[in-house]
Amino acid sequence: MTIVFSLFLLTMMVVVALAVVEARNLFAAAMLTGIFSFLMAANFFVLDAADVALTEAAVGAGVATVFFLGAIALSSEHEHSASRKFGLALLAVASTAVVILLGTMEFPILGDASAPVHQHVAPWYLEKTPELIHVPNVVTAVLASFRGYDTLGEVFVVLTAAIGVLSLLGFPRGNSEENAVNDGLSHQKILHLVGKLLIPFIILFGLYVQFHGDFGPGGGFQAGTIIAAALILYALLSGGDRARRQMPPRLLFGMACLGAFIYAAVGGATLLLGGNLLDYSVLSHDPVHGQHLGIMLIEFGVGLAVASVMLTIYHAFAGHEHR
């Protein structure tokens, strides 16, 4: 039954991908990409990759779709006609498809216990995580502790994305009748009522994902995106100007910098205490408690940075004047 459902998901993903390519209406293409991301998230759940599925659902099907719609509001709803040189494009796509198919044929069978990844790296993590970190969720242990330096780089990449968007669009200038997204959906009574009822539960779920990431799927990246999605929904319902008054973009950008600084400061503290960079064992007399404290602090920094960056980018799009 699982195989049949997986084949159905993959078939639908191909159909949606073809529809995105053929769509000339950019609004329809943006909505189809959100559907594609939702199908991908469902596929990740089938493969038991719950952490990745949460991220894909929140970012791909949620926040990214809003960003696309914001970009469309600043440009045009329809794709401009381009020169129709199908030969070179078809050759590039076909060549890439052949390379990908040949590569996937070399992959081990799904769930194969003899696959190389199950012979060295994965067994070590499964064996050492309870001993060194004592965190039930091995994924969190890998991302936040064993691979903490790499995750620190990812946080600064996210912060750099916000800096890039702000360098192009700048901070919103405040009240303007010409803003692309300004009056909200308050005139849509049903959407306004249902959305306002859902926002507290979305934020509560985001906090659960944030602070329960040690024991189940979740963590700072997923929680930050979920909370940002709830606050973006509030901005859509209440209007851009009101949302910016309650969540000033400059303050949000400062919070994003603070989140990245918290992560970096934890790494600096481990060095000052005589340990290795992001080796949280030195943060407490008990190495296991030190690992828990370090993971909690850096996950809070990640969640703060991700949520603030998502909101900063949204307000940069929503508050930019249509040209």
Cα–Cα–Cα angle for 36, 42, 43, nearest 5°? 90
**Cα distances (angstroms) measured from residue 198 to each of 80, 206, 221:** 38, 12, 21
Confidence band (pLDDT; 50, 70, 90) for 176?
A: very low
* pLDDT higher than threshold 50 for residue 92: yes
Q: Residue 321's pLDDT is what?
A: 54
Cα distance between residue 141 and residue 133, in whole Å:
7
pLDDT tens digits, residue range 100-152?
A: 888 888 888 877 778 887 788 888 888 888 888 888 888 888 888 888 889 99
Predicted confidence band at 155 (pLDDT cuts at 50, 70, 90)?
very high
Residue 191, class by beta-carbon neighbours within 10 Å (0-12 exposed, 13-18 middle, 19+ buried)? middle
Confidence at residue 180, expressed as pLDDT on a 0 to 100 scale:
43
Q: Which residue has the higher pLDDT, 96 or 69?
A: 96
DSSP annotation of 282? G
- Which residues on adjacent β-strands are paired with residue 25? 78
The pLDDT of residue 263: 95
DSSP letters for 170-219: -S--S--TTBSS-STTTT-HHHHHHHHHHHHHHHHHHHHHHHTTTTSS--
Q: What percent of the chain has pLDDT over 90?
A: 28
Q: What backbone phi and psi angles, to 5 degrees, belong to 179? A: -65, 145
> Which residues does 105 contact at the CB level (< 8 Å), separation at least 6?
none
How high does pLDDT run on average in the chain? 84
Q: What is the DSSP string of 67-96?
A: HHHHHHHTS-SBPPP----HHHHHHHHHHH
Confidence of residue 57 (pLDDT cuts 50, 70, 90): confident
User: Does position 207 have pLDDT exceeding 70, yes or no?
Assistant: yes
Name the H helices within 23-136.
26-46, 50-55, 64-73, 86-105, 121-132
Q: At which residue do the structure tokens 């330096």 appear?
A: 149
Strand partners, 321: 179
More confident residue, 265 or 121: 265
User: Regarding predicted confidence, which is higher, 79 or 297?
Assistant: 297
Kindly report the pTM of this predicted structure: 0.79
State how far the Cα of 221 lies from the Cα of 263, in Å rounded to an integer.
13
Is residue 82 within 8 Å of residue 47, measured between CB atoms? Answer: no
250 Cβ neighbours under 8 A, 6+ residues apart: 171
- What residues form DSSP beta bridges with 179? 321
**Element (H or E) spanning 136, and its range?**
none
Q: Is the pLDDT of residue 6 over 80?
A: yes
Residue 23 pLDDT exceeds 50: yes
